[in-house]
Structure 1
Amino acid sequence: MSTYAVTGAASGMGRAVAEKLTAAGHTVIDVDIAEATVQADLSTPVGRREAAAAVLERCGGRLDGAVMAAGLGPAPGRERPRLIAEVNYFGVVELLEAWRPALAAADDAKVVVFSSNSSTTVPMVPGRAVRGLLDGDIDRVLGALRIFGKQAPTFAYAASKIAVSRWVRRTAVTSGWAGAGIRLNAIAPGAVLTPLLEKQLATPAEAKQIKRFPVPIGGFGDPDHLADWVVFMLSDAAAFLCGSVVFVDGGSDAWFRADDWPRGVPARRLRSYLNRMREFRR
């Protein structure tokens, strides 16, 4: 049996994942702000360091995998954009960087990061905010989002999910991750009937917007079904899965960008592509 760290394990999809792993006989080190084995506030640098250290202590320096499900949605509030950036991006990246040696010690560890189809279905997300997250510059992120006023949390959420998806893609293929036997991937759910979505549906204005959003198969996702996908991505069957972002969203991403992906390498990037090929062959 294996040992997994699961953030956001007290509710929603994180809880469903933790329950399925526990039921299968695995050891789960659950992390959340409350009602968890490791209680920590991932919206602060201190909280993230404490969470990382507590998990490393409990796993004895070896982790067979991690599921990064902790996240904040785009609720109203002046401080919400900062909290979203801190939890959704830094609460993933900083913990995983701290846990990398323990994951490498397992030889064939699997990591699943929760992204979102908001990474491809929200228009006009400021690239400066995304780049700010990837560069670790929270002030630049907040500056880029300030122009959106009350809508800033929506764009902060989408920017956080774009950034974390790009971090997964960039990091997964490096020698410190793929080369160390760690398989790093992301799952991008759509509208899943979690407590967060139920709360939004209870507000008439938000419910109207949510129900107008295109979901070709109709309805909402089930947290247990998403958890099944995560368990698969942690299994031996996913050994060849590396740097992927898997959309499980009822067809929304495909509806919005049916012709955008896959796409060949543009001519303007051919030189960079060939240089990377040569670098890899060395």
Structure 2
Amino acid sequence: MGTYVVTGAASGMGEAVSARLIGDGHTVVGVDIAGSDVTADLSTSEGRSDAITQLLAKVDGPLDGAVVAAGMGPKQGRERTLVEVNVLGVTEILTALRPRLAAAGNAKVVVFGSNSTTSTPLVPRVAIRRLVDGDTEGAVRILQRRGPLSGPAAYAASKIAVARWARRQAVSDEWAGSGIRVNVIAPGPVMTPLLRSQLSSSTASQVRSFPVPIREFGTPEQLAEWVMTMLSPAADFMVGAVVTVDGGTEALLRPNSWPTRLPVRLLPRMAWTMYRAPKKGRVADYSDS
């Protein structure tokens, strides 16, 4: 049996993942703003530092995996809090846990993204770049110019940024080279407390009009099953993937956007990567043989 850290463990999908892990006999160290093993506010630097201190004290040996599910939904006027939780609450905690994950030799990390990354228009590219670089203040200034759209734009930007950060780290020597498999799950609308509150608010009609071809919302338990697969030996060869579980929305809106061909501008980078000296466990080139 293994030891896992789960953020956002007190409700929604994080709670469902924790229940599945515990039900299978694993040890879970949960993190949330209340009602969990580690109580911390991930929207502040002090809160994240406190969470990290507590986690490192509670996990004093190898860590078999981490599921980063804590997050905030879109809300105008709370853009700063949102990006702090959704971006730095992922990147800072995982960076601090990396040595513990590396010590396990075959750890799995699942980062919760969102299908908002591919279904939200008018998200400023420069804000995304700022967030990937950890510049939340600069990103928020840009996002707040969106006015009434600042909440959805900030949410989508935070999830795009965290997915890009995860994919870049996933293939690095520090992560993949240490045996850590990092992947992203991108849910669509799932019946969590957040979605229930939206359905009972003035935005209910907008939420219900969001296109979901399967014509039903997901459940936390369904997403937890996907996460369990991404933590299992079935994911040993899975690195840097984004798994979309959204009832078909992404395919409906972007049927021809993915898969896509490799842009010519990336050929120099590809050639450089192909001819690097291979390290232990690394494939030396991209050949199809």
- Normalised to the residue count of structure 1, the TM-score between the two structures is 0.96
Q: Report Cα offsets for 1:17-48 as digits up to 9, x if no partner.
A: 00110111100001000001100000011111
Q: Report Cα offsets for 1:81-107 as digits up to 9, x if no partner.
A: 001110000000000000000000000
State the partner residue of 2:151. 153
Q: Are 1:67 and 1:111, in contact at CA under 8 Å, matched by a contact in 2?
A: yes
CA shift for structure 1 position 133: 0.7
State the partner residue of 2:211. 214
- 1:25 is paired with a residue whose SS is coil
**Gapped regions of structure 2 (runs ≥ 5):** 280-289
State the partner residue of 1:96. 94
Give matches, 1:128-277, under 5 Å: 128-203=126-201, 205-277=202-274
2:6 is the alignment partner of 1:16: no
Q: RMSD of aligned C-alpha atoms?
A: 1.1
Q: Distance in 1 between matches of 2:34 and 2:14?
A: 13
Matched to 1:113, the amino acid is V
Q: Are 1:112 and 1:187, in contact at CA under 8 Å, matched by a contact in 2?
A: yes
Q: Distance in 1 between matches of 2:268 and 2:242?
A: 25
Q: Distance in 2 between matches of 1:250 and 1:277?
A: 37
Q: Distance in 2 between matches of 1:90 and 1:253?
A: 26
Give matches, 1:72-111, under 5 Å: 72-76=72-76, 78=77, 80-111=78-109
Matched to 2:128, the amino acid is V
Q: Are 2:110 and 2:182, in contact at CA under 8 Å, matched by a contact in 1?
A: yes
Q: Report Cα offsets for 1:156-199 as digits up to 9, x if no partner.
A: 00000000000111000011111101000010000000010000
Q: Distance in 1 between matches of 2:116 and 2:109?
A: 21
- 1:105 is paired with a residue whose SS is helix
CA shift for structure 1 position 139: 2.0
State the partner residue of 1:6. 6
- 2:79 is paired with a residue whose SS is helix
CA shift for structure 1 position 280: 6.2
Matched to 1:41, the amino acid is D
- 1:168 is paired with a residue whose SS is helix
- 1:4 is paired with a residue whose SS is strand
CA shift for structure 1 position 236: 1.0
Q: Distance in 2 between matches of 1:229 and 1:248?
A: 9
**Gapped regions of structure 1 (runs ≥ 5):** none
Q: Are 2:80 and 2:137, in contact at CA under 8 Å, matched by a contact in 1?
A: no
State the partner residue of 1:36. 36
- Normalised to the residue count of structure 2, the TM-score between the two structures is 0.94
Q: Distance in 2 between matches of 1:221 and 1:280?
A: 45
Q: Are 1:16 and 1:223, in contact at CA under 8 Å, matched by a contact in 2?
A: yes
CA shift for structure 1 position 281: 4.3
Q: Distance in 1 between matches of 2:264 and 2:20?
A: 46
Q: Answer with 250-259 or 270-279: which moved more.
A: 270-279
Q: Distance in 2 between matches of 1:182 and 1:225?
A: 24
2:95 is the alignment partner of 1:126: no
- 2:183 is paired with a residue whose SS is strand
Q: How many residues align?
A: 279
Q: Report Cα offsets for 1:181-232 as digits up to 9, x if no partner.
A: 10000100000000100000001x4111111111111110011010010011
Please, which of 91, 110, 113 is the counterpart of residue 111 of structure 2?
A: 113
